[in-house]
Amino acid sequence: MRAGLSPHKLRSRDSQLDVLSRQRREKAGEFLERTFGSVTVKLFPSGRLEVHYPDGYVEPDLGKVDGRRVWELMDMLPELRDALIWARWF
């Protein structure tokens, strides 16, 4: 089971249609992009958060990063905390 998603058989019809709609919109390239200081983030309809760091590194899915590492990154880059608040992750 993926994080935050119940198995298909346990979801209601409306919930399943919502998941499919979000996946379709993400494949179509829909996202919100915002820059916080030197950090740029992209928020996708599925809830995935892509982070572009100042050194050029791109984290395609911050949800797959260990929580302790995210806290360390927020200590090093305070603007990442603002980005997480904007994305309603924090």
Higher pLDDT, 10 or 57: 57
The model carries a pTM of: 0.79
Alpha-carbon distances of 86 from 1, 33, 35, rounded to whole Å: 27, 11, 11
Q: What is the rounded average pLDDT of the residues 45-72?
A: 95
Model confidence band, residue 6 (pLDDT cutoffs 50, 70, 90): low
The Cα–Cα gap between 5 and 36 comes to 29
Report domain extents, the chain.
Answer: 30-90
pLDDT at res. 35 = 97
